Structure 1
Amino acid sequence: MAADKETVMKEIKAYVRNNMVNKVIDALAQLPEPPSVAAVPLETYGHGVIDDAYGRLRMTKLEVDIADARVGEVVALIEQAAKTGEGHPGDGRILITNVEAALRIDTGERDEEALK
């Protein structure tokens, strides 16, 4: 089940501070045809601002699957809503990857239609 060559879809993964999740989701909800968002609480380990001696940082990963044409507006909105003031370490990251195919289980819709 490969995506048609003209169909281009992306997955946006945004790792944001827990206290910014509602602000980001509320901003996305204001878009015309707002995208679906999955929110996954998690702990990251690494550099930057940490919550404890183990280097743990509690964040939420937001996942948005969307047509390529909408990526710019969605990424800009997430960046703006997730940024604290002038920006601080630990505000998070946004990653964008290709989605090869999509299938909506209940209707059988595929690719961009399945993302609506």
Structure 2
Amino acid sequence: MKMIRAIVRPEKSSIVLSELSDAGYPAVTKMDVVGRGKQRGVKVGDVRYDEIPKELLIMVVEDQFADEVVGIISKNAKTGEGKYGDGKIFVTEVENAYTVSSGKPGL
């Protein structure tokens, strides 16, 4: 299994979630987060904003679906201009997953 964590612009999160659901991946955890990337925030005049609002989407999929999910997120999270701040996707290995209510392993 793979855990996919995607940090995306807030205005792109609803389209990403919609496209994931349409493709058969409805199970997602979403959190409002703040942060900055390589660009070190945004400077407007004399003020630097280090805490840029983003959405963190987290999901776990079987290994064979990870590339498809990453592709859906990448395609739909871009601004079109490919600007800094479009986001980042992290894919990590998941050793186990269990359903709390039943205790059953797996997704």
Q: Give the Cα–Cα distance (whole angstroms) in 2 for the partners of residues 16 and 81 of structure 1.
A: 10
Q: Does 1:18 align with 2:10?
A: yes
Structure 1: segments with no counterpart, 5+ residues: 1-8
Contact 1:13 1:64 in 2 (8 A): yes
2:81 and 2:49 map into 1 onto residues whose CA distance is: 27
Structure 2 length as normaliser, TM-score? 0.87
Bigger mean CA deviation after superposition, 101-110 or 18-27? 101-110
Within the alignment, does 1:72 sit opposite 2:67 as a pair? yes
Q: What secondary structure, in the 3-state scheme, does the structure 1 residue paired with 2:75 have?
A: helix
Give the Å deviation of 1:46. Answer: 4.5
Q: How many residues align?
A: 103
The whole-number CA distance in structure 2 between the counterparts of 1:46 and 1:17 is 12
2:33 is aligned with 1:42: yes
Q: Secondary structure at the match of 1:53?
A: strand
Q: What is the CA-CA distance between 1:31 and the residue it aligns to? A: 1.1
1:108 to 96, 103, 106: 103
Q: Please tell me whether the aligned partners of residues 37 and 85 of structure 2 are also in contact (alpha carbons under 8 angstroms).
A: no
Structure 2 distance, partners of 1:30, 1:100, is 27
Q: Give the whole-Å Cα distance in 1 for the aligned partners of 2:64 and 2:37.
A: 33
Name stretches of at least 5 consecutive residues in structure 2 with no aligned partner: none
Using the TM superposition, give the Cα deviation of residue 79 of structure 1 relative to its aligned residue in structure 2, in angstroms.
Answer: 0.2
Structure 2 SS opposite 1:25: helix
Distance 1:89 1:54 in 2: 14
Q: Percent identity?
A: 33
The alpha carbon displacement at 1:36 in A equals 0.7
RMSD: 1.6
